[in-house]
Amino acid sequence: MTPLPRHLLPLTADVIGGRLHVGGCDVIELADRYGTPLFVYDEVHLRERAREAVAAFGDGATYASKAFLCRAMAQLVAEEGMGIDVSTGGELHVVLAAGTPSDRITLHGNNKSVDELARALDIGVGRIVVDSFEEIDRIEELVAKGASQPRVFLRVTPGVEAHTHEYVMTGQDDTKFGFGLASGAAHEAVARVRSSEAMELVGIHAHIGSNIFLLSSFEKAIERLAPFVLPLALPELSLGGGLGVAYVEGEEAPTITEWSGVLRRSCAEHGLTAKLVVEPGRSIAAAAALTLYRVGTIKELPDIRTYVSVDGGMSDNPRPVLYGSGYEAFLPRATEAERPLVATVVGKHCESGDILVRDAHLPADLVVGDVLATPVTGAYGHSMASNYNKVPRPPVLFVRDGDVRVVVRREELDDLLALDSD
Ligand SMILES: Cc1ncc(COP(=O)(O)O)c(C=O)c1O
């Protein structure tokens, strides 16, 4: 099997004597120094993607923090001119701790609590994406008690089935998110919000799903939305996130610039002139990072399968288990080597389903003790990480020009006891 395709590596990836360097750092040295598992982010890559989004969408470019969030990430996207969206009070807390200006924050969520809404109103959040009639009631009650009037989007579901995994598909009629167009709920919600003194409607929001490769899915959504959105003559239109990224050999995804071209053209074709807002998460963060593991055991089951066990697993990357997502694996000591060995890379959790890469292609000379890497783990890896089996979560490094910043430290064993009562 062929070497790892280069386009799956971060922008500054460089191979010196076979060894992978990212951000001017030898990644095996990083693994030796900071331990494994380890998330390594190429800061230049993150900034390039954020800049591309801002070049394409101006201040309508809003980073979806659920893809990957820590203080340093919130600061990075703000420095590059992006707004940021949060979908819980927890994400809001982190983003505020990072110093993000309130008016650059958008609050999402299909079940926002009164406390979450109250805090958002208190800090003067930029936009609230209203998702239900109950939420309209809650905002009205809070404003009646003295909270400031928010600017809101209404989240609608255009009835489009994006070509992606059903768990990350959100634009279809059968969904917990938003107000349905087909059912008439969206029309009713507009009427409610427009007649309310408690909030100002600035736009319609639609997010049809995540990891979408076919730009025609977005065109379909715009086509469905246009007859509803046009007569409202609102100043903004948010088309959410969802642009796909290549994870494995043979996959190719459109760029943010190409995505923008299609969205703009399609909006223009339907007479939509509102300011475009988008919320890319994966397309900013995913390919910027790789995860480094240490190989602990290699179990050959003759005529069945070879299992390669590493020191992380579903707790640092639940996507293969949740969505059946595919990844590549390679050895950073031999980045460009042929990979003839087919093996299943598994984690250390007490689950047979704890699989990271089902049919990984690896160099034949793989040995216990090797550092093994999975690329394109910058989105929905660390942010979905758990402490299952009381495995401490890995640290996160930002690397750039040979400098290393530990932006999230490794959890220690005592952190696992931090919340227990005596
Ligand atoms: C409302 C909303 N906006 C943006 C995103 C980000 O999507 P992605 O990371 O696929 O760009 C999501 C992801 O689920 C979402 O639900």
Q: In DSSP terms, which residues pair with 289 in a beta bridge?
A: 41
> C-alpha 184: how far from its chain's center?
31
Enclosing H/E stretch for 88:
none
Residue 370 has pLDDT above 80, yes or no: yes
Residue 165 has pLDDT above 70, yes or no: no
Pocket test for ligand 1, best of 210, 213, 283 (most atoms within 8 A of CB): 210
The angle subtended at Cα 107 by Cα 102 and Cα 108, nearest 5°, is 165
Q: What is the mean pLDDT of the chain?
A: 96
Residue with CA closest to ligand 1 atom 5: 241
Residue 90's CB is within 10 A of a number of other CB atoms, namely: 11
* Nearest atom, ligand 1, residue 155 CA: 1
Residue 52 has pLDDT above 70, yes or no: yes
Give me the mean pLDDT over the 24-42 stretch. Answer: 98
Largest Cα–Cα separation, the chain: 71
Which residue in 112, 174, 152, 172 sits closest to 238, CA to CA?
Answer: 152
Which residue in 352, 357, 355, 326 sits closest to 341, CA to CA?
Answer: 357
Q: What span, in angstroms and rounded, lies between the C-alpha atoms of 96 and 189?
A: 30
* Nearest atom, ligand 1, residue 283 CA: 11
Q: Is the CB of 108 under 6 A from ligand 1?
A: yes
Residue 167 has pLDDT above 80, yes or no: no
In this predicted structure, what is the pLDDT of residue 173? 75
112: left (phi over 0), alpha (psi -120 to 50) or beta: beta
Residue 169 has pLDDT above 70, yes or no: no
Give me the mean pLDDT over the 254-264 stretch. Answer: 98
Q: Percent of the chain beyond pLDDT 90?
A: 95
Q: Is the CB of 243 under 6 A from ligand 1?
A: yes
Give me the mean pLDDT over the 19-43 stretch. Answer: 98
Between strands 62-64 and 371-375, the pairing is: unpaired
Residue with CA closest to ligand 1 atom 13: 210
Q: Is the CB of 112 under 6 A from ligand 1?
A: no
Token digits of residue 40? 């390594």
* Nearest atom, ligand 1, residue 285 CA: 9
Residue 30 has pLDDT above 70, yes or no: yes
Query: Scanning the structure block, which residue is given the tokens 């971060």?
Result: 10
- Cα(67) to ligand 1 centroid in Å equals 8
Q: Express each pLDDT in 86-142 by its tens digit.
A: 999 999 999 999 999 999 999 999 999 999 999 999 999 999 999 999 999 999 999
Q: What span, in angstroms and rounded, lies between the C-alpha atoms of 369 and 294?
A: 6
* Nearest atom, ligand 1, residue 240 CA: 3
> C-alpha 55: how far from its chain's center?
20
What 3-state DSSP class applies to 74? helix
Classify residue 342 by its DSSP letter.
Answer: E
* Nearest atom, ligand 1, residue 286 CA: 9
Residue 171 has pLDDT above 70, yes or no: no
- Cα(69) to ligand 1 centroid in Å equals 13
Give me the mean pLDDT over the 270-288 stretch. Answer: 98
Pocket test for ligand 1, best of 207, 247, 284 (most atoms within 8 A of CB): 207
What 3-state DSSP class applies to 393? coil
The angle subtended at Cα 76 by Cα 66 and Cα 283, nearest 5°, is 50
- Cα(6) to ligand 1 centroid in Å equals 26
What 3-state DSSP class applies to 218? helix
* pTM assigned to the model: 0.97
Q: Is the CB of 282 under 6 A from ligand 1?
A: yes
18: left (phi over 0), alpha (psi -120 to 50) or beta: left
Q: Is the CB of 64 under 6 A from ligand 1?
A: yes
Active site residues: 350
In this predicted structure, what is the pLDDT of residue 19? 98
147: left (phi over 0), alpha (psi -120 to 50) or beta: beta
Q: What span, in angstroms and rounded, lies between the C-alpha atoms of 344 and 331?
A: 14
Give me the mean pLDDT over the 377-405 stretch. Answer: 98
Give me the mean pLDDT over the 162-191 stretch. Answer: 82
Which residue in 6, 1, 4 sits closest to 334, CA to CA?
Answer: 4
Torsions phi, psi for 235 (to 5 deg) = -75, -20
In this predicted structure, what is the pLDDT of residue 172? 73
Cβ pair 284, 46 in contact under 8 A: yes
